[in-house]
Amino acid sequence: MEAATNAPTRATLSPRRPVGGTLVAAVAIAAALAAAGEGLARTAFARKHLPTPSVGCGQPQLDAKLALLDEIARRDGPVEGLFFGSSMVHRGIDPTVVGEVVRSETGRELRSFNFGLNGLSGRGEAPLAGIVVGRFRPRWIVLGVSPFALDDDRGVPLTERLLASPWIRQHQGARSLDGWLVDHSEAFRAWLGLRFWFLDPTTRADRLRQRGLMEGLRPDGYGYSAPAPLPDVDEKTIEYFSGYEVSPAQLASLSGTLALRSDLPIVVVEIPVHERVVGRFGRGDAAYRLGLDAIERTAAAAGVPFWRYPADRPVPADGWANYTHMNASGARHYSRWLGERLGAWSAGRDSR
């Protein structure tokens, strides 16, 4: 038998005093702290002493290059041009040498920046280029490409991190508080930078590897790498490169990047590789040339010029860090050629 005395009574909400005072005060304190933090993060002192601010993609090289561009823009105004692409651009294009050549050929000062990123593939390039162009307003960009950089298996980790990051997604329409904060709050970017270097759960080995990616980074974004003797092309290397293939998806992504031509002039340039591995690409020498042809067709379809690297100006034998990346000596050689072409191109544009 159920006891009648067990019948439930009604619960009532009856605060005797106004509630929430502590919460209101706490929110006010938190807001004051946030404002103070934002102010502090924008000072030269903070920029000098705190780790590089981060956009939260887990790629400190990207953060470092964004910070360098910010510094240049603050000090001297926006750069005229950006060199964009993968690590092959990062190590292969020396903006200082390009500028010297343009000055000597045309008398014009050219301020440019190397925005090559280790591990950047076509899929990650398109959204990132759009954001960088929108933020730093260069007058032109040069996309350095190679059939070696258009394989689907290259740069997967960075690409996945970029495409998943709230910052990139914010600019692709998937708005979020995190993405908004990265765009608008220097304090938040400073926090992300602190978190990556001091609080991030990545292993020590990964953090060391990330530091290694930034060795030799110069203020103009160029990644200096010293000459080193190359080993003979061994079976492992042959097998490694023979699996490469220019992916239609990567070419489509390249088209996506080239769509920026509606905002500013773009040039696509070939980044050369060591002659010993040209013939090892995919199914042989023809595969490499066919890859270049595919790049040229993609550029032509977008109405963008494609500059092939001339065969009669090979990068010197001591100009390679490895078989797909130039070292400082090779970059100097290549950048002279690029400077000549850019000088003529920009003169032609300026005269119109």
Contacts to another protein by CB under 8 A: 1-3, 5-19, 21-23, 25-27, 29-30, 33-34, 56, 166, 178, 181, 188, 191-192, 198-199, 201, 203-204
Nearest approach, Cβ of 4 to another protein (angstroms)?
8
**Residue among 204 and 352 whose Cβ is closer to another protein:** 204
Q: Which lies closer to another protein via its Cβ, residue 11 or residue 44?
A: 11
Nearer to another protein, 204 or 236 (CB): 204
d(CA 241, CA 123): 21
Q: Which amino acid is at 19?
A: V
**Euclidean distance between CA atoms 71 and 69, whole angstroms:** 5
Across the strands, what pairs with 188? none
Taking the least distance from each CB to another protein, the nearer of 35 and 344 is: 35
> Can you tell me which residue has the tokens 């080239």?
258
Q: Residue 347 CB, nearest distance to another protein (Å)?
A: 46
Q: What are the beta bridge partners of residue 144?
A: 85, 269
Q: Provide, rounded to whole angstroms, the least separation between the CB of residue 170 and another protein.
A: 12
Q: Which is nearer to another protein, 28 or 286 (CB)?
A: 28
Least separation, in Å, of the C-beta of 201 and another protein?
A: 4
User: Distance (Å, rounded) from C-alpha 90 to C-alpha 106?
Assistant: 25
Looking at the Cβ atoms of 131 and 233, the one nearer to another protein is 131
Collapsing DSSP states into helix, strand and coil, what is residue 320? strand
266 φ, ψ (degrees, to nearest 5) = -130, 145
Among residues 81, 213, 209, the alpha carbon closest in space to that of 143 is found at 81
- For another protein, the closer of residues 104 and 176 by Cβ is 176
At 62, list the tokens. Answer: 């990207």
Provide the minimum distance between the beta carbon of 132 and another protein in the complex, in angstroms, as a whole number. Answer: 21
* Shortest separation between residue 12's beta carbon and another protein, angstroms: 6
At closest approach, how far in Å is the CB of 131 from another protein? 17
Q: Is residue 114 a contact partner of residue 83, using CB atoms and an 8 Å limit? A: yes
Which pair of tokens denotes residue 78?
A: 């926006």
Asked if residue 214 lies in contact with residue 87, where contact means CB atoms within 8 angstroms, the answer is no
Closer to another protein by Cβ: residue 120 or 181 = 181
Please, what is the minimum distance in Å from the beta carbon of residue 178 to another protein?
Answer: 6
Residue ranges in 195-284 assigned as alpha helix (H): 204-213, 235-242, 248-258, 275-278
8-state DSSP, 306: E
- DSSP per residue over 82-119, as a string? EEEESHHHHHH--HHHHHHHHHHHHS----EEEEE-TT
